[in-house]
Structure 1
Amino acid sequence: MKNAIIIASLGLASVLSFGVSAAEQISAEQAQSLQSMGTVSVSQVGSSPMDMNSALSAKAEKEGASGYRIIEARSGNTWHATAELYK
């Protein structure tokens, strides 16, 4: 039982710490006051929209962006999304 609580606590802590440091998805209105840094794309097989947002956020953060705006998204058997990065 203690192991399950520890694992759950670690999982929650990692999600919370990721959310704090990750780049945020922003709206078109918010993007107007920010400087564009280029674009990133992600593609995955059998993933959810939440997985795509996580992947875009991770790529945006890796590039040094504070925010990203999804400019293209397709779904089906595979997902593909492109986002513009902003600082």
Structure 2
Amino acid sequence: MKIKATIATASLLSLLTFGASAAQLVTAEQAQNMQPAGTVTISGTAGAPMDYRAQLSQKADEQGASAYKVIEARTGDNYHITAELYK
């Protein structure tokens, strides 16, 4: 069961790196040169990785951030993702 969760999380994080959005997903190295601007969290019971990215990007945009980095991701029957925002 843990293997499924690990694979799902890895898939989620790799899929989050693709696609266009206003707030961009950044790596830890890229984030070192940016100013932190808070965190956002999304959660729910169903969804696809691209939906998660869109939700994170929208929340980041609403808070005036230009980028975000996923710092926690749990998927399965329910999902919960936390991202750190950057300006």
Asked if 1:56 is matched to 2:56, the reply is yes
Rg: which structure is higher? 1
Q: Is the 8 A contact 1:45 1:77 kept in 2?
A: yes
C-alpha distance in 1 between matches for 2:72 and 2:65: 18
Residue 78 of structure 1 aligns with which residue? 78
**Percent pairwise identity:** 51
How far, CA to CA, are the matches of 1:79 and 1:49 in structure 2? 10
List 4+ stretches of structure 1 deviating above 2 A. Answer: none
TM-score relative to the length of structure 2: 0.74
Please state which structure has a larger fraction of its residues in helix: 1
The normalised TM-score by structure 1 is: 0.74
Q: Over aligned residue pairs, what C-alpha RMSD do you find?
A: 1.0
Q: 1:39-77, CA deviations, whole angstroms, 9 ceiling, x for partnerless residues?
A: 000002110111111100000000000000000000011
| Structure 2: unaligned runs, 5 residues or longer | 1-19
Q: How many residues align?
A: 68
Unaligned runs of 5+ in 1: 1-18
